[in-house]
Amino acid sequence: DYTRLASDIRRPLINHAISGLYPPGSTYKIVAASGALKYGVVLPKETIPCGGRLVLPDGWAFDDWLAEGHGPVNLERAIAESCNIYFYNVAGGNPYTDLPGIGNPQLASLQRKFGFGSQSGIDLPGEASGVVPTSDWKRNADLGPWVRGDTYHAAIGQGLVQVTPLQIASMYAALANRGRVMRPRLIDRILDSNGNVVERFPSQVRSTLPISESHLRLLQRGLHRAVNGEAGTGRRSRSAYTVVAGKTGTAEYSGDRDGQGRLPSHAWFAGYAPAENPE
């Protein structure tokens, strides 16, 4: 029985919430969006054209998920409709328009401030830290030099980025609670047999996101539109009971391609509710 469990490709003996490492896909685009605002790469209403593909001078092509492209896209719409081309531009820059982009050193720094690349501190054993890729990390892993395409992939939660589901949940909780990255906990308090409090475990703030309140509201509007907007990618997350804000993600991983040439992928959704007063 143990051999059967240990060899199961679904890894049932692993606590996937805290120890499973996965590419987060487009749920991760919020990090690049916050960096674009923080470092003034683009103005909130400034648009970037999306024609469905960005081909670099060396011939490498980077596609949007929508083959025909989204047309002119601003930040709020880029979040709502998950435009890859927008996030390639603001993260890694564009050699044709001289848009500088955030650059991977600053993008990686932001990823860490969102809680990635380190343990959350939850009171469970075996928590993984994940991977925030940098040029040094890639070189030490014998994966070659860092290239612009690595920054493009990192911005959309693909390539070398690895996170736990708990880290993604923690990021979206921080977006909902005015930028506070909390330490997750399982126990609120311990009671004796008479119902008296023996010990309390107060909430702890790990860090605060380095983005302004006005920028945070802009990110929140994008997440609201992703679920409730006419063209939002998260429309199927609408609820009759409350207003949801959130983000979808489709993260490819290595494996056999299907009949249409697509790699297998993880499907993600992360969000919070009620959108206006999150609980």
Q: Would you state the pLDDT for residue 94?
A: 97
Residue whose structure tokens are 């709502």: 80
**Dmax of the chain from CA atoms?**
72
Q: Tell which residue, 6, 257, 17, 266, has the closest CA to residue 124.
A: 17
Strand ranges inside 71-162, DSSP E: 71-73
Q: Tell which residue, 176, 252, 184, has the closest CA to residue 217.
A: 176
Q: What is the pTM of this model?
A: 0.92
Q: Would you state the pLDDT for residue 58?
A: 94
**Amino acid at position 28, single letter:** Y
Summarised one tens digit per residue, pLDDT across range 101-128 is 999 999 999 999 999 999 999 999 999 9
Please check the confidence at residue 26 and state whether its pLDDT lies above 90.
Answer: yes
Catalytic site includes residue 203: no
Measured in whole angstroms, the distance separating CA 136 from the mean position of its chain's CA atoms is 22
Please check the confidence at residue 254 and state whether its pLDDT lies above 90.
Answer: no
Summarised one tens digit per residue, pLDDT across range 186-245 is 999 999 999 999 999 999 999 999 999 999 999 999 999 999 999 999 999 999 999 999
- Residues in CB range of 86: below 8 A, 6 or more apart: 48, 50, 70, 73, 75, 78
Q: Would you state the pLDDT for residue 259?
A: 87
What's the mean per-residue pLDDT of the chain? 95
- Residues in CB range of 228: below 8 A, 6 or more apart: 235, 238, 243, 244, 245, 275
Q: Would you state the pLDDT for residue 124?
A: 94
Q: Would you state the pLDDT for residue 252?
A: 85
Q: Would you state the pLDDT for residue 10?
A: 85
Model confidence band, residue 260 (pLDDT cutoffs 50, 70, 90): confident
> Mean of the pLDDT values across residues 267-276?
96
Catalytic one of 26, 34, 82, 237: 26
